[in-house]
Each structure stands twice: as C-alpha cells, then as structure tokens.
Structure 1
Amino acid sequence: MRRDQTLGDARALAPDLDCRPADPEGDRALLLKLAGWCERYTPLVALDAAAEAAGSHGLFMDITGCAHLLGGEAGLVADLEARLCAQGFSVRLCLADTPGAAWAMARHGEARILPEGAHAAAIEPLGLSALRLEPSLVTALGRVGLKTVGCIARLPRAPLAARFGARLLQRLDQALGREAEALSPLMPVAELSTERRFAEPVSQHDEISHVIAALAAGLIEPLERRGLGLRRGRIRLFRVDGHVGELAIQTARPLRDARVIARLFEERIAGLHDDLDAGFGFDLIRLDVVHADPFAGVQADLVAGAGGGEHDHDALIDRLGARLGTGRVQRFVLADTHIPERSFGRLPAARLQPGAGRGRAAAGLALAAVPQDEGLPEGIVTRPLILFERPEPLQTIAEVPDGPPLKFRWRGVSYEVARSEGPERIACEWWRDGRGARTRDYFRVEDSQGYRFWLFRHGLYGRETGEPAWYMHGLFA
C-alpha cells in the first residue's frame, strides 16, 4: 500500500483493513496533549509545522542541558521511546545536532542518535524529501537527476537558487547547521524550575504536599541570588499513564517564603471541585516560577505586629485567590472618566502591582463617607455611599423646567423635597456615546423625613430635549 491510494485498492490488497473516518481536530488535540507530556524531558517542545502541512504529525524537542537527568542522551532516548510505546504509540525518533537532520533521520533514516558533528555525512545518502521540501520541488529536482541530499550539497549555490528558489538552499543549510532554525515552544519557558522524579510513583495527598514543600524550599536560594520573588507559580504533575495535571497560583506581592508558597498550593488543591486524581501515581512533579518580580526587602519593626496590616491584606488575597480562583478576588480601581457609573472598575487583586489602587481610590472612598454638613475642602464634591449600577427612572414635579424637584415618586413611593442642592452639571462623553448623548444635572435632595438622595435631570431643557427625564442614581447615609 502507498500514501494517497484509493480505499478500494487498499482493501483489495488487505481485505481485513480497519478503516476509520479522518479526525484532524482530534489528532491535533492528541498531539497537543502528547506535547504537554513530553515536557517531562524539556520545556522546549514544539509542533512539527512541516509535517502538519503534509498531513502527518511530529514534535521537536530541544534537550540541550537536559539529557544528564536521565543518564545521558542514550538514556533519554530509550526512556522516551519506552514510555511512548507503553502508551500505545508507534514512534520514530532521532537525536541530532540540528532539527533538520533529526527530522530527516527520523522519517527517512535508521539512526536513533547521531554523534556530534556526524549529521552532515549521515543525511547525504537520503532522498531530497528528507529536507522537508514540497513534493513538486522534489519532483522537479528529480527530473534533472538530483535525487539525494549529497547531490545538491556539492553543487554551486547560485544556479540552484536561480532555478529552484531560495527555499531549497534554506532547508539544506538548516539541516547541515549552516543556518540556525529557531523552535517555537508551545509553552513559555519558566524563569526558574525545580523537579523531583520518583522510582516509585506517589499518589497520597500527604506525600504530594511534602514534595511541593520541598520543591518550594529549593527555589528560595535561586530567587535570593536574582533578587526576585515569586508572583506566579505552577505545579505540574506527570502521571505514569501520560496525563499531566497542572495547578497555578498568583500572589498579590512577590513571595520568597517556602512555607507560604507551599500553603498556597495546599489551598489551591483544597479548592478543587474534585479530588486530585492521582490515577496510578505521579512519577514526576515539577514546580515552575512562571513570573517573578523584584523583591524589595523591608526592615522588620521592633514592635511585634506593627506595620503588618498591608502584608496580612496581601496574604488574605493570596489565600482567597488560591482557594476560589485568582479572577474571583477583585478590588476596585479608578477609571479615567467623569461619568459616575463608569468612574471605577474591578480588576483581579493579585494582578495589580503591590500597593496599586490604594492611594487615590482609598481617598475617594473616604471623601464619599464625609457627611455633607461637616464641610469639605474647596473643589471636592461628595458622592453617595450607595451608587446604583444603573440609574432608575422616577417622576418629578418642579417649579421651572430647569429647577430642582419639589416632589418625586420613586419605586411607587412619593417623597416631599425639604432641601436641595445643585445642580452639579456633568457633560456627556460624546466620543463614547455619540453626538446624541445628553448632559446631566445632578441634585442632592433631602425629604421631609431626613433621607437624602442623589438624582439627576437627563438633558438640557430647550437645547437638548423638550422633555428632560429624571433618574435616581444613589443614596446618602
């Protein structure tokens, strides 16, 4: 049988042929899962784009500096092949100096490990398909008698490029190591990483927690040397059956305390909807520092407990984020707008820089809590303690169209206005709401029972509309 053969011809040659519909999306999902599993050997794992374009599949792995963890290159290759075969995969692999040479030998050669500097001589007898060339280009080269890599390796370069294009020489140079070929790993490389391999898989929760604590302790000294603290960490748990689990934490400020880091992962595990599925056990656990920030050392206070409020606040954010999810723990931040309901937003608390959102935002909340009668510095206006997410319509009676209300009805209840202050005019944001947006005139009013309200007239009478609408926007204490 051959590639692109019709199904009828294939069944004529093999009557018991097992046929299944093609599932490109499922194949790619499986390949991505396999690539994640291969990160047990190196963080630099990339998809084979040339093979994917041709309808097949493959992976590239840069194992520079990683082979010694498994007893050298031969040990790594043997372990990789044995584990993949145990999972039911049929695999061809080759270890070489360049990605191009490794690809050529894995698909068209027999060697599994090429000695350093031997890749050029090893690929010369191979066909030109081993250079990851388009089939049409391989056919064109064959018509003029060029069928192997060695045939074109010794020919003048200029005529080859002029007749067959620069792509031919680029692939040749990449395979021979004359031109560097960068791999695009699927996952960003961690700033720091530490791992623990086990001769016998671990599955108990206490064992896993002990390993995580030991890995966290091993990261402290490298972080200290670099003057960094952990902001985002990730635990990867490699099961013996090929499944890879992942747990991540994010902190409100840089951390350099192994006990705190381990406790956050404990909170993360406790916050899972299901128990940590260990299957037949984990034979590799890795802790990655995905992101780190400069760590500013702070002189401890001589008075016990003094000055610890801010650290306690960040520790609470970290624990809640680990248990509930980082995106669920939020804090208010100011927005660059003068429209009241748009003047603030919410962001995950752990994503902000240490101390962000505590200056102006905290001052704004404090000013809003100052009673109106006590007086405020010039240029500062009060805002209600309760601000509705959306203004609510109401009916009003006023002496003149642009004056304050005398009575109003809101949520089915009528109110008599005893005192009022305003208007405070807030112009529309025409660049966001369009030219038809209307101006708001806000009034602070107090009814006969002492309740205070914040309401506004929407639209300037006679200029923007003939019938301005009234809305309730907030309540004072």
Structure 2
Amino acid sequence: MTHVSFVKRRYLALWFPWLPAERLARAGRTGSPERPLVIAEPVKGALRLAATDRHAEALGLLPGLPLADARARVSALLVADHDPEADRRLLERLADICIRYTPMVAPDLPDTLILDIAGAAHLFGGEDGLVRAARLRLRRHGFTVRTAFADTPDAARALAQFGAASVAALPVAALRLGEERETALRRAGLHTVGDIACRPLAGLATRFGAQAATAVRRMVGDAESPFVPRRVLPPVEVERRFAEPVARTDYVLGVLADLLAEACRMLEARGEGGRRFEAVFFRADGKEQTVSVQTSTPVRHPTPVVTLFTHSLARLEDPLDPGFGFDAVCLAVPVTEALSPGQPDLDRAPPPGPALDALVDRLAARLGPERLLRFHPRESHIPERAARLRSGSPSGDWPVPSSGEPPLRPLALIHPPRPLSNVVADVPDGPPRRFRLGGAVLTIVRAEGPERIAAEWWRRPGLTRDYYRVEDESGRRLWIFRHGLYGREETNPRWYLHGLFA
C-alpha cells in the first residue's frame, strides 16, 4: 500500500493597524498626542474618517466617524486626504519585502498581508523565529504590525485584527458580512464565531444568507479560502541564507554561481531548460535588488548564464551595493521549456548552442534587452504587418514552406512598395507580361498567383491586393501586387514591387 502524506497549510497574518498614517509619517506628516492625525474621505456627501494614527485611536476617534464630530471632540486635528492607491502600492511593497520569508505572500487589502509559511518556518528556527524576524524588519521600516498564526487565511487575518485567543472567541465582525448582517446576528444572540459554528449551518444560510455560512466554513477550514499570492511560484527556485550579513559582493556572486549550478541540476531532472533567470539579493536593511537575464534558447548549463549575469550586473545604473550586508540570495527560473539531453564533447563540455543565439544573449545582457530588437511574428495577413520589432526572444513560429518548395514571400520587404509603370497584363486577373521599373523594362517569362489579400476592414477601408511571384528574362524573381480589382474596386489599378526573392 502506498501512503501519501499531505503538507498541512499554515498561515501567518501581518496586520498593519495604522498603515495610512505610518505611510504619511514616512513622508514627514506625523501626528502627536496634542495633534493627532486622521485620514478623511468623502462618503455620501460628507467627510468621514477612513483611518487614524495611534494617538487619534487612543482618543476614541475611529474609522467611520464623521470628520465634523471628530473636530468637535479634538479641535487640533491634523487632517490628510485618503489615498487608497498609495496604500495599495505600499502594501505591495511590503509584500515584496516579506518574500524573503516565503514566496507565497498575498496582499489582503487594505492593510493585511497573508503568508503561506508551510515548509518555510524551519528556515528561521520555527514559527516564533520567523515572526520575530518579520516584526523586527518591518519595525525598522517604521511600521507597526500585529501578527497571528492559523490553519486558514481567514482565521489568521481575523485573529491578527481582533486579537482573540481562538477562532471561537472571534466576534461576528470578523466574518466581514457587512453591518446589516452583523447586527442581525447579534440580535439573534450570536455574538462570536463559536456561537455560530456550533449550530447547523444550513439554518444559518436560510436565515442570514449563503454568504454567512460560507464565511464560517472558510474560517474553520471546512471550505477553501481564496489565496492568490502576489508572486507566482516559479518552476525552479533555490536560495541561500547567511547566518550573518555578508558585505563582500564577490562572495555573494560566487554564491549565485553555486545556486545556478544547483538550479541547472534541477532543470536537468525535469528535462527542461531555463529561458529566464532572476536573482534577488536581499540586504540586511530590508532593501532588495533584482537582476534578470533571458536566453534565446533553453539553457541548463550554468556557465553561459553566469556570463550573462556578469554583463547585466556591469551595466546596472545602480550598482550592486551590499550596504550593511546581504543576508540572503534567491535564484528563480520563472520561464522554462522542454530540452532534450545533448551529447557532450570528449572534454565533457556542454554542447555549444547556436552562435547567433549566444551572441544575441550576450548583447542583450551587456546593452540591455530593450536596446536589442528582433523581428517577432504577428498574426496578420497583411505582409507589412506580419512582423514587428520587439525586444526579447521571438514568440511564435514563422511560416515554413513545404519541403522542396520556394518561399511564398520574400524575407525582406520594400517599404514603401515601389510603383511599376507601363504595365501590360491580362484582365481582369492575369499576371503582368511586361512593366517598367525605374529606367528598365522587364519582360516576365514565368508567373505564379494570384494570392489575394483583402484589406483589414476593422482598421480602415482599403483595396484588395493580388500578389504574384514572377521571374524575368534574366532570372530575377520579384514579388509584385496589383492594388485593387479590375471593374469592382478600380478602373485602372496600380501595380507595385513589394519584395525580391534571393
């Protein structure tokens, strides 16, 4: 019999009770016991408190209170406008800081982070060590945080916000059902989550709605809670934590090379190669710096990737600075592709990749990927719109002619198409017999076509094109088209040269 073991999920909630006020404090707008800070927002034509600092809360000024009533209680108020977008960006920034504790970090607006710490707490000596490290780091950044552990995200968040000793002791407000349902539950004598959980949930759903029953099930773990981490877990990720901060950049880069070797072994076990590699350097003061490189083809040998990182680090406008020292390095491979094993040389060196791909990778790492443009295929039947210049490796496939057949279209197009004059052609749909190109008269001996391409009606009205592959007496092969259909769109269509076949 095969025994399957499942990892029990464990969550840590980080609640920032005064997040908006502490954000403003970082910008120099700090309240005091004599002049507390409140953040106001318009609600139904009146200004109400959206958040406060610790001094205002101690005076009984709570969110939801009309600003006029708050001024009546405390005349010397410092008032700021509510900026939920700035608070959201700050919470996401704090989530990025907490990625050093676990890659599974989910912002829970407006003021909470949920960390899935299953399998990560032992790296810090257990849950107590992890939460101590997180509190210390966030306190250094100027933030007050309250924490709680639980087996579900909803329970962890509620325990952190309400400070209850257990899930059963949480007030019904922890279910976040809205003021109307909370009032109805209290009138029914249900004041805590424990009061509700010990009763049949079918009756609860009938009386107070299915949302109430679902909220209780999520709180106690009988229903799945939505948990969307800010960062998608990459297929391959390795890290190295240091017992003491390391101030030597060369040593940290050596650790990065070791991590690349470890990641490549993991890729080999998966039968894959990496297309994008990201290194995150965590500093002891809470700052981190991310450097990423990408390759034109899948790679699972560390040497070329180390070279790309060396070039990328050399071109950074803000050089890698250890500050007070690095305390961790993380390497992720977020983009992978299948890669068949190759035959090594006699000296056990990896099989060399295409020279062009290696050159492109080095140039992109040295100059920056945004400065190196390559043609990418684009879904469009209009020839000049079927490709575009973009940075990065081309995504999608180029059309390939059948075996033994010449290409249907030339590799390079003439822009803009060159007009042809004195064209002699059979009407209505015949290929040209003779035409003048510049000062020369070309006589056509072979022709294939037409390939009819209609205009993109959703962009703007246009004429139909009939393309022909033609060959003149001297063997030159041209790609020409007639712009417009005889009698239906044009009485005298124009002809153009759009490309040359090699």
When normalised by structure 2's length, the TM-score is 0.74
Post-superposition offset of 1:183: 1.2
- The within-5 A match list for 1:13-412 is 13-48=73-108, 52=109, 56-109=110-163, 122-202=166-246, 204-276=248-320, 278-300=322-344, 310-326=353-369, 340-341=383-384, 350=393, 360=400, 380=406, 386-393=412-419, 396-398=421-423, 404-408=433-437
Distance 1:102 1:470 in 2: 72
SS of aligned partner of 1:11: helix
Distance 1:420 1:94, change over 3 A: same
Matched residue SS, 1:37: helix
* In 2: Cα distance, 1:349 partner to 1:12 partner: 60
Distance 1:128 1:335, change over 3 A: closer
Structure 2 distance, partners of 1:301, 1:67, is 44
Q: Does 1:419 align with 2:443?
A: yes
Report the residue type matching 1:316 in the other structure.
Answer: L
Q: Is the 8 A contact 2:344 2:351 kept in 1?
A: no
Q: CA deviation at 1:385?
A: 6.9
Displacement after TM superposition at 1:236 (Å): 1.5
Residues 274 and 152 of structure 1, relative CA distance in 2, 3 Å threshold: closer
Query: How far is 1:89 from its partner?
Result: 0.6
In the alignment, which residue of structure 2 is the partner of 1:11?
A: 71
Q: Find the aligned partners of 2:167 and 2:424 in 1 and give their Cα distance.
A: 95
Do 2:105 and 2:115's aligned partners in 1 also have CA atoms closer than 8 Å?
yes
Which amino acid in structure 2 is aligned with residue 247 of structure 1? Answer: V
CA distance in 2, matches of 1:105, 1:211: 39
Q: Quick one: which amino acid aligns to residue 25 of structure 1?
A: E
Q: What is the deviation of 1:270?
A: 2.6
> What 5-or-longer segments of structure 2 have no aligned partner?
1-60
Inter-partner Cα distance in structure 2 for 1:476 and 1:168: 70
CA distance in 2, matches of 1:195, 1:159: 50
Q: CA deviation at 1:78?
A: 1.0
2-side partners of 1:161 and 1:71: how far apart?
43
Q: State how far apart, in whole Å, the 1-side matches of 2:149 and 2:75 are.
A: 38
CA offset at residue 5 of structure 1?
1.4
User: Match of 1:107, as an amino acid?
Assistant: Q
Q: What amino acid is aligned across from residue 146 of structure 2 in structure 1?
A: R
Instruction: Please give the alpha-carbon distance, in whole angstroms, between the structure 1 residues aligned to 2:243 and 2:95.
Output: 23
1:386-445 deviations in Å (ceiling 9; x for gaps): 521431345x2246785545545xxxxx51315334554334333845896324364758
CA distance in structure 2 between the partners assigned to 1:351 and 1:381 by the alignment: 20
Secondary structure at the aligned position of 1:284 is classed as strand
Contact 1:428 1:437 in 2 (8 A): no
Equivalent residue, structure 2, for 1:466: 491
- Aligned-pair CA distance for 1:463: 4.8
CA–CA separation in structure 2 for the residues paired with 1:161 and 1:135: 17
Cα deviation, 1:150-174, whole Å, max 9, x if unaligned, reads 2222223332221111222222222
Q: How many angstroms does 1:175 deviate by? A: 1.7
1:30/1:383 Cα in 2 relative to 1: closer, same or farther (>3 Å)?
A: closer
The answer to whether the 8 Å contact 1:339/1:426 transfers is: no
For residues 394 and 102 of structure 2, the distance between their equivalents in structure 1, rounded to whole angstroms, comes to: 28
My pick for the range that moved more, 274-283 or 167-176, is 274-283
Q: Does 1:457 align with 2:482?
A: yes
Cα shift at 1:347: 7.2
**1:459/1:469 contact within 8 Å kept:** yes
Counterpart Cα distance in 2 of 1:16 and 1:251: 60
Q: Distance in 2 between matches of 1:381 and 1:220?
A: 39
The alignment covers a number of residue pairs equal to 436
SS of aligned partner of 1:123: coil
Q: Structure 1, residues 307-332: CA drift from partner, whole Å, max 9, x if none?
A: 96644343333323433455665665
Contact 1:128 1:149 in 2 (8 A): yes
Matched letter for residue 334 of structure 2: V
Q: Cα 1:422–1:20, aligned 2, differ >3 Å: closer, same or farther?
A: same
SS at the partner of 1:209? helix
Q: Which has the higher helix share?
A: 1
* Unaligned segments of structure 1, at least 5 residues: 112-121, 365-376, 409-413
How far apart are 1:2 and its partner, in Å?
2.3
Are the aligned partners of 1:334 and 1:345 in contact in 2 as well (CA < 8 Å)?
Answer: yes
More displaced, 242-251 or 20-29?
242-251
Cα distance change on mapping 1:293 and 1:334 into 2, 3 Å:
closer
CA distance in 1, matches of 2:312, 2:385: 33
Q: Distance in 1 between matches of 2:196 and 2:142?
A: 39
**Aligned counterparts of 1:20 and 1:183: Cα–Cα separation in 2:** 32
Q: Do 1:422 and 1:442's aligned partners in 2 also have CA atoms closer than 8 Å?
A: no
Do the aligned partners of 2:454 and 2:465 also contact (CA within 8 Å) in 1? no
Q: Percent identity?
A: 40
Q: 1:470 to 1:304 in 2, by over 3 A?
A: farther
The AA in structure 1 aligned to 2:138 is L
Deviation string, structure 1 residues 124-157 (Cα, Å, up to 9, x no partner): 2331112233222111111222212222222233
Superimposed CA distance per residue, residues 16-36 of structure 1 (whole angstroms, 9 cap, x where no aligned partner): 433211111111011111111
The change in CA–CA distance for 1:110 and 1:385 in structure 2 (over 3 A counts) is closer
Distance (whole Å) between structure 1 residues aligned to residue 241 and residue 346 of structure 2: 43
Task: Please tell me the residue identity of whatever aligns with 2:495.
Answer: W
- Greater per-residue strand proportion: 2
Q: Which amino acid is the alignment partner of residue 360 of structure 1?
A: V
Change beyond 3 A, Cα 1:445–1:275: same
Letter in 1 for 2:130: L
Q: Alpha-carbon deviations, 1:190-230, whole Å to 9, x = none?
A: 22222122344445542332221121123243334333332
Q: Equivalent residue for 1:374? A: none
RMSD value, Cα: 3.7
User: SS of 2:159's equivalent?
Assistant: helix
| One-letter amino acid of the structure 2 residue matched with residue 469 of structure 1 | R
